Amino acid sequence: MFLVGFMGAGKSSVGVALARMLGWPFEDLDQRIEARTKRSIEQIFRDSGEAEFRRLEHAALQELLSGGIGRRVVALGGGAFIQPENAALLGQDGLRTVFLDAPVDELYRRSNQEGVQRPLRQDKAQFERLYHARRPQYLKAGLHIATAEKTIEAVAERIVQELNLG
């Protein structure tokens, strides 16, 4: 199962909780990119730019999928599902995509608190524009979960229920 959504949506924290609930392994696509390149996401953006990051992200997703779909929870980076070549891979039969959403103000706040460097999190107006531009694509995920005012565990439980995995 693939968790998609904007920066600050809680993809990694919900993913860890969900994986624990299901007894499935958890993987974070950004961490796979960092491990493959031995560079942080921030370094990749700074030294090589976004286009190179997107190439690495697509390659990492292809590699991940080549290991079989199986029972695992994968948190994608906020832009991964937006790239048409990735959305095409994730649209294959049997793959489940879950969009975690929240009001953009909350996403902006959360994406700062998590303490992760996010090259595409700049000022609030830019953050909002990017969120609104991307949201129609996120809505193409198989399941849509509103996370506002829910705990991480409650969001994970909701996904288990909605997908009949309990």
List of residues contacting ligand S3P (CB under 6 A): 7, 11, 30, 41, 77-79, 118-120
Q: Whole-number minimum distance, CB 16 to ligand S3P, in Å?
A: 13
Judged by CB, which is closer to ligand S3P: 22, or 60?
Answer: 60
Minimum CB–partner distance for residue 7 and ligand S3P (Å): 4
| Residue 49 CB burial class (10 angstroms; 0-12, 13-18, ≥19) | exposed
In the complex with ligand S3P, which residue's Cβ is closer, 146 or 161? Answer: 146
Is residue 10 within 8 A of residue 100, CB to CB? The reply is yes
**How many other CB atoms sit within 10 Å of the CB of residue 60?**
23
> Closest Cα partner for 15 from 77, 63, 86, 94?
77
Nearer Cβ to ligand S3P (100/159) = 100
Query: What's the closest the beta carbon of residue 93 comes to ligand S3P, in angstroms?
Result: 26
As given in the structure block, the two tokens for residue 106 are: 């909350």
- Of 22 and 76, the one with the shorter C-beta distance to ligand S3P is 76
Shortest reach from residue 29's CB to ligand S3P, in Å:
7
Q: Give 7 or 22: the residue with its C-beta nearer to ligand S3P.
A: 7
Q: Which residue is nearest to ligand S3P (CB)?
A: 77
In the complex, the smallest distance separating the C-beta of residue 107 from ligand S3P, rounded to whole angstroms, is 10
Task: Indicate the burial class of 132 (C-beta count within 10 angstroms; 0-12, 13-18, 19 or more).
Answer: exposed
Angstrom distance (rounded) from CA 32 to CA 11: 15
